[in-house]
Amino acid sequence: GDSVTQMEGPVTLSEEACLTINCTYTATGYPSLFWYVQYPGEGLQLLLKATKADDKGSNKGFEATYRKETTSFHLEKGSVQVSDSAVYFCALSDMIKAAGNKLTFGGGTRVLVKP
Amino acid sequence: DAGVTQSPTHLIKTRGQHVTLRCSPISGHKSVSWYQQVLGQGPQFIFQYYEKEERGRGNFPDRFSARQFPNYSSELNVNALLLGDSALYLCASSLGTGKETQYFGPGTRLLVL
């Protein structure tokens, strides 16, 4: 079945440092790929997405490129801020039955940015 | 426009009880999905409903059930609660059931004592 593996945290960084969170996936079809972010006590917010190979998703300074050859979707940001402290989830969406698009999530990576 | 709303925000139950969680999707969205997020883990898919029909079910026991109403809102029911059902229950809505983006609500935090 489908699965997503992402690096375990916590990842602790200083403000303005570079962030990379690795994510690899296994899927039988041609999934769409997502990064969601979860702030303390809240639900998940979509950060960015890519729907086909070589697509690059970007938002709020974060980027990720859909790499089919390496089945990866690594999240990067060149200069983090304290407000980027959160848990980040990599996820894939593939079809179920004849219609349906459940999300399969990785375990999440906690990021802590210190001033 | 309002996002996905869920009620209640928090709930405390005892083992063996029953619970009903509610979700209202974004206006115009016809699909609702439910996920369980145990503390420290990623969300796990429970159900997806589209046009009032179940379109997918995750690996959860029959104690879990759901339904979708004509206005596309949804309820998740859990019977005979176990301690292990303690989790954040997330509802997500999307336009349909293709590869559209799913948008999440704030969740209902359930504690089973």
Average pLDDT across chain B, whole number:
94
Residues of A in contact with B106 (CB under 8 A): 42-43
Percent of chain B past pLDDT 70, that is, above it, reads: 97
Q: Among B14, B8, B3, B6, which Cα is nearest to B111's?
A: B14
Distance (Å, whole) CA A95 – CA B69: 23
Contact flag B43-A89 (C-beta cutoff 8 Å):
yes
CB-based contact, B60 to chain A, within 8 Å: no
Q: What is the pLDDT of residue B28?
A: 92
- Provide mean pLDDT across the span A29-35: 89
pLDDT at residue A33, rounded to an integer: 94
Report the alpha-carbon distance of residue A88 to residue B79 in Å, rounded: 31
Q: Over 90: is that where the pLDDT of B15 sits?
A: yes
pLDDT value of position B95:
87
Cα–Cα distance measured from residue B35 to residue B89, given in angstroms and rounded to the nearest whole number: 6
Query: For residue A97, which residues of chain B lie inside 8 Å, CB to CB?
Result: 55-56
Q: Which residues of A touch B98 (CB under 8 A)?
A: 95, 99, 101
What percent of chain B has a predicted confidence (pLDDT) above 90?
85
Residues 6+ apart with CB under 8 A from A51: A32, A33, A66, B99
- What kind and span of H or E run contains B32? strand B31-37
pLDDT at B43: 96
Rounded-to-integer distance, Cα A114 and Cα B2, Å: 33
